[in-house]
Chain A
Amino acid sequence: MQAFDIEVTLGRTRVLHGVDFTAKPGQVTAIVGPNGSGKTTLLRATTGEIPFTGRVLLNGEDVARQKPWQLAAIRGVQPQSTTIAFPFTVVEIVRLGLTAGLSAANTDLPVRALEKVDLTGFENRMYQDLSGGEQQRVQLARVLTQIWQPMVDGTPRWLILDEPVASLDIGHQFTVMDLTRDFATRGGGVVAVMHDLNLTAMFADRVVLMQDGRIAAQGTPSEVLTDATLTQTYGCPIPVNTTPPVGMPFLLPQARMTREPC
């Protein structure tokens, strides 16, 4: 996925100033940055949700020239939060992912997708009665149903996620990040807006750091997540790889050494 010279103006404010960025299949690309730096705006421009100037290519094809159903076959997008207008059950929401065509015949996918996001047994619960974190995982299950196979006929498919772990507990953060990691390992492309720099360092192959509507740095986590860059971008001293003073408890997701499921 490539984006060239993306500019977005919301109201009278220019929110993105000519952003170029590339995400490769087989990798997890994380977009990070302070609040208001344009992460979500960049994601929403590349998925065509808001008007922008510039060009976005997905698997080499201009996104603007493709029909919604063509895009839906190669790209799934998980929004930050979704309110549903009517009393749908969980499985009915996930089943909406089947309407995208390629997975349509595979009617057991919704149940398998719910299993993947650790929501087995939630099929007939009302979506509106779930907690925020559970709703977010239902939406992920829906997107997974839509693009179940990371590769189809040698062409990668894309998982686009807006803060996928924002309202999840640490156990389910791992569930979801492991899922995205697995999707990329099997050949698909993952682009995720992230807030948690630790999870980013742990799971991303490539990090795009944004500041004031521009890209401040991009590269591997060890290239981008440095004292100097982070301190400058976030406007606050952020020492990397430093243990806190003795006696203060701290929890790092990186300390989970195994790839055992939680």
Chain B
Amino acid sequence: MAQNRFPKPDFESGYKYPEIHHAIPNEELLVAIDIILLVALMGIVSWAVIKKRTRGPILWVSVISVAYFGFFRKGCVCSIGSVQNVALALTDNTYALPLSVLLFFILPVLFAFLFGRVFCAGVCPFGALQELVNIKNYKLPKALTTVLGMMPWFYLIFALLYAVTRSSFIICRFDPFIGIFRLGGDIGMITCGVILLIMAMFTGRPFCRFFCPYGALLSIFSSVSIWKIKLTDKPCINCELCHNACPVDAIRPPYANKAKESRLRGVKRLLNYFVLLPLLILCGAFLMRSVSSELSRANKEVRLYDMVMQHEANPGDVLSLELEAFYGQGDSIEGLTQRYEKVQADFKLYTTIAGALMGLVVAITLIGLSVKRTRKQYEIDHAACVGCARCFSYCPQYKIGNESGNIAL
């Protein structure tokens, strides 16, 4: 497109071409600082939660994280979004994954596997922001939290679906807090962010619990983590204070399973689940596959193909910018059709997998609801616990042995 209509001027007055320098920030340094800070902050939280058992450092980490990862680095790239890059890198050989993105993805997972969700506790700027505004914890009804608790999984599955088909990074696109960190942006998303923050004032971390796809992923690893957060070393006196203090409903109350069922019935119930599980998976796969072509409209190639087809049908219409660019670049319709068909085939495959996974999520949630275990004392649900360390200072047993006075709020 470089049109050289006019010859280069030959100056007689000794004019020199100006040297123009375009600023390049020290990107390598910033990336290095990001990674070092990520590890350091997660280390501090792990130490505070597992060893020191106090909340003070976590609040400081939250402030640093909101200031640095949030307002200074403007929230990109974050671990939540990195899921999409990693998924794309795993399925597409041509996509070059930067090391920093890989580290942003894998380090919090690794820490979750070792110490629980310490990343969520205060290193993630989104979690930290919600933690800092929280003033009161109203408990939500169990039915609501169970239904909403499936949403992060669905969100994760959709995000992966759109990432591996190279359509869109929906986690980044529908990010409620990024507009707040950038002090500007899409007004709809900022409104969502503000609403979430107002909700976060009265109930613990609505985004983390009901939307965050990365938190869902971390919960798998934290539930089998090697070092686990303990409520107290001393025997629990079942006072329920920790349960009331927990902002994310991660402390399960004692439960006496009175209706002791016979072994046969238990086995029967288990068999029913195993029939139900593949049925739900098949249902999900079938449903998602049937809407695959509708979902594929999020892909740019598909939209362009539709536009071109529409234009070919009535050529008299005014050209849109996309069509102008398409015809201007002299792309062939055959090439576009080929790309379109490839995207459609990808969507057929991946929507089926996504549907199956969604069925699995529903099935596991249902099974989880009907499994009733006897608990003698308050126990932490390590999948849901975000390691905010609120419960420690509420535990009367913990206070007895800890009179040195370093009990944080």
Binding partners A and B: no
User: Which A residues have a C-beta under 8 Å from some C-beta of B?
Assistant: none
User: Which B residues have a C-beta under 8 Å from some C-beta of A?
Assistant: none
